[in-house]
Structures are given as C-alpha cells and as structure tokens.
Structure 1
Amino acid sequence: MSQFIRLDQYQLIEAHGADAEKYLQGQLTADLIALPSGANTLAAHCDPKGKMNAIFRLLKVDSEQFFLLIKKDLLPSALDALKKYAVFSKISFDLRDWQIVGLIGKKCGKIEPRFTLEIDEQRAILLNESALPINFNADEKIWESADIQAGLPNLSAATQNLFIPQALNLQAIEQAISFTKGCYIGQETVARAKYRGANKRAMFILKGKTQTLPAIGSEIEMRLESNWRKTGSIINAVNLDGLLWLLVVLNNDIDPTQVFRLAQDETTLVVQPLPYALN
C-alpha cells in the first residue's frame, strides 16, 4: 500500500522572474542551465568560505520559474543569504503555503498534484497549490528514515555553515554539484576540495538498536583499542520503534568495520553501505 506523508518540516519557496535562472546559477552549486525543465535536484547554497547555508530540493519549471524546498528551521537566515544580491536582478522570492506531500509507493490515479518531484523509483514529493483530499497514513519519521537510508543529506540550524558540500556527499548525489559551470558563491573551496583533495570528511549511514534519539550536531564515539574517543557530527537521526538510523559526518577514510557507539547509552552503531559511490 502506498504511504502518504505530510512533509510539514519543509517550506516551499517560489523563485521567479526574467533573471531567475541566471541569478540562481551564480548562487547554487548545481548547473541550472543544464538542468532540463521539469527536472529536480538537490543543490547547496554556500557562504564565501564554501560552508553550506542551505540544501534545497530545487524544481526547474522553466528558466523563469523555480521552486525550492527547504527545511523550515533553516529559515529565515538561509533565504536571506540567498536573496542577498537579488536587488540587482529581476527575480523575486515568495514563500508559498502549498500542500507538500511525501509519497512512498505508487500514486493513485485520483490524485493529480500541480507538480511531482521524483526522488527515486519508490518516492516522490507532490506539490499542490490547493490541498487535495489525501488520506495521510504514515508519519514524517518514515520519510526521514527513507532519506537516511538513501544517503540524502540533512542540514539544520545546528549544522548550518559548518560543512562544505562534499562533506555531506553532494558530489555523488543527483546533479547537486557542477564542477564545470563556472563561478558561484563558495565555488573556489568546493573546487579545491575536488581537485586538491582538500576534503577529508564524508557522510555515513549508521544503525543501532536503542530507544535513544541523539541531538542533531552531537557526537558519537569510536573505539580505539580499549578506549573510546568522541568523533563525528550527527546530521540526521530518526528512531523508528527502537531502530535508530543516523547520518554522521566522519573522516572519509574510516574502516567500515570500525566499531562506533552512542555516547548517551553505549548502543553499538554499525556502518551501513551507501547506495552510491563517493569517488
């Protein structure tokens, strides 16, 4: 049975105007000129040091209209940063109070959303300007855990402006980073991380059995012989009936058999395979 989930943790932003594509091209990591109309991708917005203010899921309607989904707890700072130079361009940013629905499984024929953002073969996000009569039958934790298992990064207020895009694996996901499109804010740092090996971190999926839900931004522990050392940074955490799923930023050369645990209750955490190649 298909699962329909309210994605109330997201805010929808419409970016529109004659210069929309040109302006966003100079701000975000993705190549929006090369992105086909109707396609969607993750994209990051960085500060001048290459650290991420925001991760958006961006839908290109056409060169003058884009929709951007962002976690609400990144607002308003992330939107203010994105709009910083917009006064010089013909582009407007408007918050849209649309219905945002996560779908796991097949969409039934009776539901006709305004826009459908395909995430993978099993998941999609439906955007409806007016709310459709949908029977919501699953919790948003189901969606977040699916994101974690797909290795899709999360950015929150606790981790804003801490990581370059590659530390959250964006170079390996969809069309999130272009290394050929030219300049955008933070581009020098992102390029240096690729071509000079400057990035030493990556995002990993970990799983453990516990009732604990650690805080975003907190650390886990790594076993070193008979001792334990704090390491990493948790960027997403979901506990589903005693099964804890985590996304954690760690050194990118970790041994996948390395033993980790939660600092709070000493739960063993096991590294899970990523569904994509980092290199």
Structure 2
Amino acid sequence: MTVVVTNRALLRVSGADAEVFLQSQLSNDINLLKKGVQLSSFCQHQGKIIALFWVMRSGDDFLLSFPEDLNEKVISRLKMFVIMSDVKIEDISSQYNQIGLINESNSNAYSINENLSLLIDSNELMKKDFSSGYDLWAKACIDYKIPEVFLSSSEKFVPQMLNLDINEIGVNFSKGCYPGQEVVARLHYLGEAKRRLFAFKSDFEMQVGDSLYCSSSKAAKARGNRYKGSGIVVNSVKFNSYFYCIATLDIDLLDREITLNDEHGPILKINNNE
C-alpha cells in the first residue's frame, strides 16, 4: 500500500555545520544515521519534547519530517541556536510529497522499520495513483507504536514516556549534550519511567490530548477534582468501525479499568492486535 502522507512539514538543514548543529540539538546520535529514518527528539531545557523528528540524510543535507502544525514553532526555535554556524534551515514542505509505503519496497525510500518506509519526492508524484487515505498510514504507525508530537502535545512528554529510550530508538545516552540532556539522562540512570506508551482501542472517538482516567488510582482518590489523569492520548485514528490510539499511561495502572477524560468516559481497551 502506498499512501500520500498529509499534514507533515519537511525542513532541509544544510551547510558545512549542519551535522554538528543537529548533533548538538537532538536527542539521538546523528553521526550514526546512515540510510533510513532516525527518530530524534528536539527538547527544551526541562527535557520535554518540543517536536519529534523523522530525520533523514539526503546527500550532505538532512531532512526533518514532523507534523505541520509545529512548523512555525520548530523553525523559530531551531534558528535561535544557529548563531554564527554555517547552517541553513529551509521549509521545503510545498516542494515535495511525503509518501508512506506499507509493506512495499522502494530503493529510494527511507526505512522506518521492516514494514514502513517514507519516500520523499517532487510534486510530480501527485500525478500518480496513490491513495490519499491518511487513516491507513496513521493506523499502521499506531500499530507499530510510532509516536508523534503535535502542537497541542508539544512540551508535555519526556522521551521515556514515548518509549524512545527503549533500545535507544530515539535517544542515545552515549552522545554529547543537547537541550534537556541532563534531565533525560538523570531519569535513565537514576530513576525509572513511571509512565509509558501503550496502544488502545475504543468504540468512541479519541482526540490527541485527551486524558486517560483511572478512578481506582491513588492519585484520583487523593486529589479529587485536581486529578488531571494518568496519561495522555498521543495519536489517534478511526479505522473501520473502531477508534485506535497510542497513549501514555502510568505503568502500575495497566491492569486497571481506564476511561477517557473522566470516570464517566468510555472505557479504553488495551489493543493487543498489533
């Protein structure tokens, strides 16, 4: 299946200092990036993720793909750190299509995992008969627990909440410093993530930013109306007759009844059909 992936921005980072610049700003080790997509967090000083990039090499340049509603925020933030470096940041979103490949191979595509890859090509590809069904791509990403950060969820997660530390898929703990690195590393070496990413499904609609509620949790009983939930919906999609999502959740609540937003909300079921 080949799908036009809509609603994603695409930046090109070029210049003699591009690799050094990205290495100093992102959570993953850019020096290890070869062919394929590398997940990497762009964090603020408290370790919260501003944006989660799909990073790709394109010759001597780098491509950053992420949800388009973060475009203005990301560009202005990245440019704050360029200073005197030989780095150019260009928004090329309108010049290229981002094509998602599900269980298909293409020598020019950037592999995300064994089943998903991303093809970056000119707008001429729009003349071809590609599916415009973004829900197919979103469902595939949710099935493989590939997280996203949108404007509404920006600066709400540390990398561990999105499982980016597992097998260092999105965080490298051996590389040099980057914004928020001390906080992220401290949690890794001295603490333990209390909240992780899980997949759920429901008969009812779920929106990014909705909270997960557990009425039997200690926090809910202790805080009453001040209790803000035990997790957040990270990404969601309606597919056929069900709604699917990936969401953060306090690990110790995984076997409890979880509802959406409050104790009267619809029940969320763990989705094990991944």
User: TM bucket by the smaller chain?
Assistant: 0.7 to 0.9
1:39 maps to 2:36? yes
Partner residue, 2:224: none
Partner residue, 1:87: 83
- What's the CA shift string for 1:51-73, capped at 9, x where partnerless? 111000000235x3111101001
1:195 maps to 2:192? no
- What's the CA shift string for 1:20-70, capped at 9, x where partnerless? 11010000001011222x2321100000111111000000235x3111101
Shift of 1:138: 5.1
- In terms of fraction of residues, the more helix-rich structure is 2
Tell me which amino acid in the other structure corresponds to 2:184.
V
Partner residue, 2:110: 117
Partner residue, 1:251: 250
Of the candidates 220, 230, 241, which is equivalent to residue 212 of structure 2? Answer: 220
1:76 maps to 2:72? yes
3-state SS in 2 of match to 1:73 = helix
Of the candidates 48, 55, 59, which is equivalent to residue 56 of structure 2? Answer: 59
Contact 1:192 1:198 in 2 (8 A): no
TM score, norm. by length of structure 2: 0.87
CA RMSD of aligned residues (A): 2.4
Partner residue, 2:12: 14
Shift of 1:104: 1.2
Using a 3 Å threshold, how does the CA distance of structure 1 residues 40 and 92 change in structure 2: closer, same or farther? same
Using a 3 Å threshold, how does the CA distance of structure 1 residues 167 and 181 change in structure 2: closer, same or farther? same
Contact 2:26 2:41 in 1 (8 A): yes
Distance 2:42 2:18 in 1: 15
Contact 1:45 1:82 in 2 (8 A): no
Tell me which amino acid in the other structure corresponds to 2:64.
L
Shift of 1:106: 2.0
Task: Give ranges in structure 2 of 5+ residues lacking alignment.
Answer: 222-226
Using a 3 Å threshold, how does the CA distance of structure 1 residues 216 and 173 change in structure 2: closer, same or farther? farther
> Identity across aligned pairs (percent)?
26
Segment drifting more, 147-156 vs 246-255: 246-255
Shift of 1:273: 4.8
Tell me which amino acid in the other structure corresponds to 1:244.
F
Using a 3 Å threshold, how does the CA distance of structure 1 residues 193 and 222 change in structure 2: closer, same or farther? same
Using a 3 Å threshold, how does the CA distance of structure 1 residues 198 and 149 change in structure 2: closer, same or farther? same
1:234 maps to 2:233? yes
Task: Give ranges in structure 1 of 5+ residues lacking alignment.
Answer: none
Shift of 1:205: 0.8
Distance 1:172 1:273 in 2: 19
Shift of 1:268: 2.6
Distance 1:20 1:239 in 2: 39
- What's the CA shift string for 1:202-251, capped at 9, x where partnerless? 1111112x2x32222121332429x9984311111111122111111111
3-state SS in 2 of match to 1:88 = coil
Distance 1:35 1:29 in 2: 13
Contact 2:206 2:245 in 1 (8 A): no
TM score, norm. by length of structure 1: 0.86
Contact 1:204 1:274 in 2 (8 A): no
- What's the CA shift string for 1:98-156, capped at 9, x where partnerless? 01111113247xxx7xx411122222111003422321235101111111111111111
Tell me which amino acid in the other structure corresponds to 1:75.
N
Partner residue, 2:173: 179
Distance 1:168 1:139 in 2: 25
Partner residue, 2:163: 169
Of the candidates 149, 152, 167, which is equivalent to residue 146 of structure 2? Answer: 152
Distance 1:59 1:173 in 2: 19
